[in-house]
Copies of this chain bind each other. A is one copy, B any other.
Protein backbone atom coordinates (compact mmCIF):
# COMPACT_ATOMS: atom_id res chain seq x y z
CA UNK A 1 0.00 0.00 0.00
CA UNK A 2 1.09 3.57 -0.58
CA UNK A 3 0.21 6.79 1.18
CA UNK A 4 -2.26 8.91 -0.71
CA UNK A 5 -1.83 12.58 -1.53
CA UNK A 6 -4.04 14.97 0.40
CA UNK A 7 -6.64 15.58 -2.27
CA UNK A 8 -7.21 11.94 -3.13
CA UNK A 9 -7.37 11.16 0.53
CA UNK A 10 -10.12 13.70 1.05
CA UNK A 11 -12.17 12.08 -1.67
CA UNK A 12 -11.62 8.65 -0.20
CA UNK A 13 -12.59 9.90 3.25
CA UNK A 14 -15.86 11.18 1.84
CA UNK A 15 -16.41 7.83 0.18
CA UNK A 16 -15.82 5.98 3.43
CA UNK A 17 -18.43 8.14 5.05
CA UNK A 18 -20.95 7.76 2.29
CA UNK A 19 -20.45 4.05 2.04
CA UNK A 20 -20.21 1.68 -0.93
CA UNK A 21 -21.89 2.28 -4.25
CA UNK A 22 -22.05 6.04 -3.89
CA UNK A 23 -22.99 8.24 -6.83
CA UNK A 24 -20.67 10.94 -8.04
CA UNK A 25 -23.20 13.65 -7.21
CA UNK A 26 -23.16 12.59 -3.55
CA UNK A 27 -19.40 12.78 -3.44
CA UNK A 28 -19.37 16.21 -4.99
CA UNK A 29 -21.99 17.35 -2.55
CA UNK A 30 -19.91 16.16 0.38
CA UNK A 31 -16.79 17.79 -1.00
CA UNK A 32 -18.26 21.20 -1.68
CA UNK A 33 -16.36 22.68 1.29
CA UNK A 34 -13.14 22.31 -0.64
CA UNK A 35 -14.40 24.64 -3.33
CA UNK A 36 -13.11 22.56 -6.23
CA UNK A 37 -14.44 22.93 -9.76
CA UNK A 38 -16.95 20.18 -10.57
CA UNK A 39 -14.64 18.09 -12.66
CA UNK A 40 -11.91 18.03 -10.10
CA UNK A 41 -13.50 15.35 -7.97
CA UNK A 42 -13.72 13.32 -11.15
CA UNK A 43 -9.97 13.52 -11.61
CA UNK A 44 -9.22 12.38 -8.10
CA UNK A 45 -11.68 9.52 -8.32
CA UNK A 46 -10.01 8.36 -11.51
CA UNK A 47 -6.64 8.40 -9.82
CA UNK A 48 -7.99 6.51 -6.86
CA UNK A 49 -9.34 3.95 -9.27
CA UNK A 50 -6.00 3.58 -11.06
CA UNK A 51 -4.30 3.10 -7.72
CA UNK A 52 -6.78 0.42 -6.77
CA UNK A 53 -8.41 2.28 -3.91
CA UNK A 54 -11.90 2.43 -5.37
CA UNK A 55 -13.93 0.48 -7.87
CA UNK A 56 -16.35 1.99 -10.32
CA UNK A 57 -19.62 0.50 -11.47
CA UNK A 58 -21.61 1.84 -14.38
CA UNK A 59 -25.24 2.45 -13.64
CA UNK A 60 -27.00 3.73 -16.73
CA UNK A 61 -25.80 7.23 -17.36
CA UNK A 62 -23.78 7.66 -14.20
CA UNK A 63 -21.16 5.97 -12.04
CA UNK A 64 -21.18 4.40 -8.61
CA UNK A 65 -18.03 4.31 -6.54
CA UNK A 66 -17.03 1.85 -3.86
CA UNK A 67 -13.97 1.94 -1.63
CA UNK A 68 -11.74 -1.09 -2.04
CA UNK A 69 -9.66 -0.22 0.99
CA UNK A 70 -11.49 0.26 4.24
CA UNK A 71 -10.87 3.16 6.55
CA UNK A 72 -9.51 0.76 9.15
CA UNK A 73 -7.09 -0.84 6.75
CA UNK A 74 -5.83 2.47 5.52
CA UNK A 75 -5.50 3.98 8.97
CA UNK A 76 -3.62 0.95 10.21
CA UNK A 77 -1.20 1.33 7.35
CA UNK A 78 -0.92 5.10 7.54
CA UNK A 79 -0.37 5.30 11.27
CA UNK A 80 2.44 2.80 10.95
CA UNK A 81 3.99 4.73 8.08
CA UNK A 82 3.85 7.98 10.01
CA UNK A 83 5.53 6.39 12.96
CA UNK A 84 8.44 4.99 11.04
CA UNK A 85 8.96 8.13 9.03
CA UNK A 86 9.77 10.33 11.97
CA UNK A 87 9.18 8.71 15.32
CA UNK A 88 11.49 5.75 15.26
CA UNK A 89 8.39 3.57 15.13
CA UNK A 90 7.72 4.44 18.74
CA UNK A 91 4.13 5.31 19.61
CA UNK A 92 5.41 6.96 22.72
CA UNK A 93 7.54 9.36 20.74
CA UNK A 94 4.59 10.37 18.68
CA UNK A 95 2.41 11.14 21.66
CA UNK A 96 5.30 12.92 23.32
CA UNK A 97 5.60 15.15 20.26
CA UNK A 98 1.90 15.86 20.44
CA UNK A 99 2.15 16.68 24.09
CA UNK A 100 4.50 19.50 23.25
CA UNK A 101 1.55 21.37 21.86
CA UNK A 102 -0.38 20.50 24.98
CA UNK A 103 -2.98 17.79 25.30
CA UNK A 104 -6.37 18.48 26.78
CA UNK A 105 -7.32 16.56 29.87
CA UNK A 106 -10.03 14.90 27.85
CA UNK A 107 -7.55 13.68 25.29
CA UNK A 108 -5.37 12.28 28.02
CA UNK A 109 -8.33 10.51 29.56
CA UNK A 110 -9.33 9.07 26.20
CA UNK A 111 -5.84 7.75 25.70
CA UNK A 112 -5.81 6.30 29.17
CA UNK A 113 -9.11 4.57 28.55
CA UNK A 114 -7.79 3.09 25.35
CA UNK A 115 -4.66 1.87 27.06
CA UNK A 116 -6.66 0.24 29.80
CA UNK A 117 -8.72 -1.47 27.17
CA UNK A 118 -5.69 -2.65 25.24
CA UNK A 119 -4.07 -3.88 28.39
CA UNK A 120 -7.24 -5.61 29.39
CA UNK A 121 -6.79 -8.16 26.63
CA UNK A 122 -3.41 -9.03 28.05
CA UNK A 123 -4.30 -11.88 30.39
Contacts and interface: CB of A to CB of B under 8 A. Distances in A.
Contact of A91 (B6, B72, B95, B100): B95
A110 B115 CA distance: 11
Interface of A is mostly: helix
A63 interface: no
A79 B97 contact: yes
Contacts of A107: 90-92
A19 to B, nearest CB: 18
A13 B87 CA distance: 11
A111 interface: yes
B83 A98 contact: yes
Interface of A: 6, 9, 13, 72, 75-76, 78-80, 82-83, 85-87, 90-101, 103, 105, 107-108, 110-115, 118-119, 122
30 contacts: A6-B85, A72-B97, A72-B100, A75-B86, A75-B97, A76-B98, A78-B86, A79-B87, A79-B97, A79-B98, A79-B101, A80-B98, A83-B98, A91-B95, A91-B103, A91-B107, A91-B110, A92-B107, A92-B110, A92-B111, A92-B114, A95-B95, A95-B115, A99-B114, A103-B118, A108-B115, A108-B118, A111-B115, A112-B119, A115-B115
